[in-house]
Structure 1
Amino acid sequence: MPVEIRELQITTTITESGSAGGNTSSTAPVAATGSEDIIAKCVEQVLEILKEKTDR
Protein backbone atom coordinates (compact mmCIF):
# COMPACT_ATOMS: atom_id res chain seq x y z
CA MET A 1 0.00 0.00 0.00
CA PRO A 2 1.65 3.29 -1.07
CA VAL A 3 1.94 6.17 1.39
CA GLU A 4 1.21 9.63 0.07
CA ILE A 5 2.84 12.60 1.82
CA ARG A 6 0.66 15.64 1.32
CA GLU A 7 2.65 18.10 3.40
CA LEU A 8 6.39 18.57 3.61
CA GLN A 9 8.05 21.14 5.84
CA ILE A 10 11.64 22.11 5.15
CA THR A 11 13.55 24.29 7.60
CA THR A 12 16.88 25.91 6.73
CA THR A 13 19.35 28.20 8.46
CA ILE A 14 21.29 30.73 6.44
CA THR A 15 24.35 32.44 7.86
CA GLU A 16 26.43 35.14 6.25
CA SER A 17 30.19 35.11 6.54
CA GLY A 18 32.15 38.35 6.72
CA SER A 19 34.82 37.31 4.21
CA ALA A 20 36.64 39.87 2.06
CA GLY A 21 35.29 38.36 -1.20
CA GLY A 22 31.73 39.39 -0.46
CA ASN A 23 30.08 37.65 -3.43
CA THR A 24 31.61 34.22 -2.97
CA SER A 25 29.25 31.38 -2.19
CA SER A 26 30.02 28.12 -0.50
CA THR A 27 27.95 25.21 0.63
CA ALA A 28 28.58 23.68 4.02
CA PRO A 29 27.36 20.17 4.85
CA VAL A 30 24.41 19.97 7.21
CA ALA A 31 25.40 19.07 10.76
CA ALA A 32 24.60 15.51 11.77
CA THR A 33 22.23 16.67 14.51
CA GLY A 34 20.29 18.78 12.01
CA SER A 35 19.88 15.80 9.69
CA GLU A 36 18.77 13.60 12.54
CA ASP A 37 16.15 16.17 13.57
CA ILE A 38 14.76 16.34 10.04
CA ILE A 39 14.63 12.56 9.74
CA ALA A 40 12.94 12.26 13.14
CA LYS A 41 10.26 14.78 12.15
CA CYS A 42 9.62 12.99 8.85
CA VAL A 43 9.34 9.62 10.55
CA GLU A 44 6.96 11.09 13.13
CA GLN A 45 4.71 12.55 10.42
CA VAL A 46 4.67 9.28 8.45
CA LEU A 47 3.75 7.33 11.58
CA GLU A 48 0.91 9.77 12.30
CA ILE A 49 -0.43 9.32 8.76
CA LEU A 50 -0.27 5.54 9.07
CA LYS A 51 -2.02 5.67 12.44
CA GLU A 52 -4.82 7.82 10.96
CA LYS A 53 -5.27 5.34 8.11
CA THR A 54 -5.50 2.37 10.46
CA ASP A 55 -8.02 4.19 12.69
CA ARG A 56 -10.45 4.61 9.81
Structure 2
Amino acid sequence: MPIEIRELHIRVAVNAAPGGQPAPGAAAEAGDASAEGRQKALVAECVEQVLRILQDKQER
Protein backbone atom coordinates (compact mmCIF):
# COMPACT_ATOMS: atom_id res chain seq x y z
CA MET A 1 0.00 0.00 0.00
CA PRO A 2 1.53 3.38 -0.97
CA ILE A 3 2.06 6.07 1.63
CA GLU A 4 0.92 9.62 0.88
CA ILE A 5 2.85 12.48 2.49
CA ARG A 6 0.64 15.55 2.78
CA GLU A 7 2.95 17.89 4.67
CA LEU A 8 6.70 18.00 5.13
CA HIS A 9 8.28 20.28 7.73
CA ILE A 10 11.88 21.35 7.11
CA ARG A 11 13.89 23.49 9.53
CA VAL A 12 16.94 25.37 8.25
CA ALA A 13 19.49 27.49 10.13
CA VAL A 14 20.57 30.49 8.06
CA ASN A 15 23.94 32.24 8.60
CA ALA A 16 25.13 29.58 11.03
CA ALA A 17 28.56 27.98 10.73
CA PRO A 18 28.99 24.25 11.43
CA GLY A 19 29.08 23.45 15.13
CA GLY A 20 26.42 25.99 16.05
CA GLN A 21 28.81 28.96 15.96
CA PRO A 22 27.49 32.14 14.25
CA ALA A 23 28.99 32.89 10.86
CA PRO A 24 31.64 35.64 10.76
CA GLY A 25 30.05 39.02 10.07
CA ALA A 26 26.59 37.88 11.14
CA ALA A 27 26.69 40.05 14.27
CA ALA A 28 27.75 43.14 12.31
CA GLU A 29 24.98 42.60 9.79
CA ALA A 30 22.34 42.30 12.52
CA GLY A 31 22.90 45.93 13.53
CA ASP A 32 22.44 47.24 10.00
CA ALA A 33 19.27 49.14 9.13
CA SER A 34 19.17 47.22 5.85
CA ALA A 35 19.21 43.93 7.77
CA GLU A 36 16.21 45.13 9.77
CA GLY A 37 14.38 45.98 6.55
CA ARG A 38 15.16 42.54 5.12
CA GLN A 39 13.89 40.92 8.30
CA LYS A 40 10.61 42.86 8.14
CA ALA A 41 10.17 41.90 4.48
CA LEU A 42 10.82 38.25 5.34
CA VAL A 43 8.28 38.31 8.17
CA ALA A 44 5.70 39.94 5.89
CA GLU A 45 6.26 37.25 3.24
CA CYS A 46 5.91 34.50 5.85
CA VAL A 47 2.66 35.99 7.13
CA GLU A 48 1.28 36.13 3.57
CA GLN A 49 2.15 32.49 2.95
CA VAL A 50 0.60 31.34 6.24
CA LEU A 51 -2.59 33.26 5.53
CA ARG A 52 -2.73 31.78 2.02
CA ILE A 53 -2.32 28.25 3.42
CA LEU A 54 -5.05 28.82 6.02
CA GLN A 55 -7.40 30.20 3.36
CA ASP A 56 -6.76 27.17 1.13
CA LYS A 57 -7.52 24.83 4.02
CA GLN A 58 -10.81 26.62 4.74
CA GLU A 59 -11.89 26.31 1.10
CA ARG A 60 -11.54 22.50 1.19
Partner of 2:50: 46
Q: Deviations over 1:1-42 (max 9, x none)?
A: xxx67588xxxxxxxxxxxxxxxx422216211011000000
Structure 1: runs of 5+ lacking an equivalent: 9-24
Higher relative contact order (CA 8 A, sep 6+): 1
Structure 2: runs of 5+ lacking an equivalent: 1-6, 12-23
TM-score scaled by length of structure 1 = 0.52
Structure 1 segment 1-56 matched on structure 2, within 5 A: 25-27=24-26, 28-29=29-30, 31-56=35-60
Change (3 A) 1:6 1:55: farther
Matched residue count: 39
Q: Which structure's residues are more often helix, by fraction?
A: 2
